[in-house]
Chains A and B, each alone.
Chain A
């Protein structure tokens, strides 16, 4: 079992819709959770981080964390074509200070 799992996609949504990206992790001791966005040919850039169960909102983005079920999700409201990218979920794994990344979900927002 991979430590961080994501559906590779592509996830295709129409412009203006809500895009829902999901991530599951295997380590129950994980404490910190991050969402990065990576445009093709570019480096990952941090969108949000979340540490506590529940929702965290930042503009059009909402991160949701459920430690009991070991999943974290990212909702993008009012999706725009410029949101088309690969979204990487990353967690801190017990005993390893650096982030462990999932393989990413490719999002396509259709105009």
Chain B
């Protein structure tokens, strides 16, 4: 298996623009997580899906952020409008089971909002 695949790897956008990050989890995994990593705040959970259903979105910073998982093999994280403070590395991770055992991370998307 190719592992968790994220795209794009790097994204530079202007403030106010819409940004869409994409994730393909490992086949057979039923849990998917979006995390954001910054120097100041470390690795923070944004949202967690189980069987394509959002279970915990308490980490989503504000209404500018939204996430979808239309099927078991694809998820998106959208920021609209983007702001410079959204600059971070966004990781998608997936696991099998509901207790987040052995979550596997994608390579991340480095987002820079200028």
Contact = CB atoms under 8 A, between A and B. Distances in A.
Interface in A29-86: 32, 42-46, 49
B69 to A, nearest CB: 14
B100 A99 contact: yes
Chain A contact residues: helix, strand, loop or mixed: loop
A30 B44 CA distance: 18
Q: How large is the interface on A (under 10, 10 to 19, 20 to 34, 35 or more residues)?
A: 10 to 19
Contact of B33 (A92, A98, A102, A103): A98
Interface residues of B, number: 24
A103 B42 contact: yes
A88 B43 CA distance: 9
Given A92-B99, A92-B100, A97-B100, A104 B42 contact: yes
Contact of A97 (B56, B91, B105, B107): B56
A49 B99 CA distance: 12
A17 B103 CA distance: 30
B50 interface: yes
A99 B45 contact: yes
Interface of A: 32, 42-46, 49, 88, 92, 96-104
**Top-10 shortest CB links A-B:** A103-B42, A43-B105, A101-B43, A98-B48, A98-B45, A99-B100, A44-B105, A98-B33, A43-B108, A43-B107
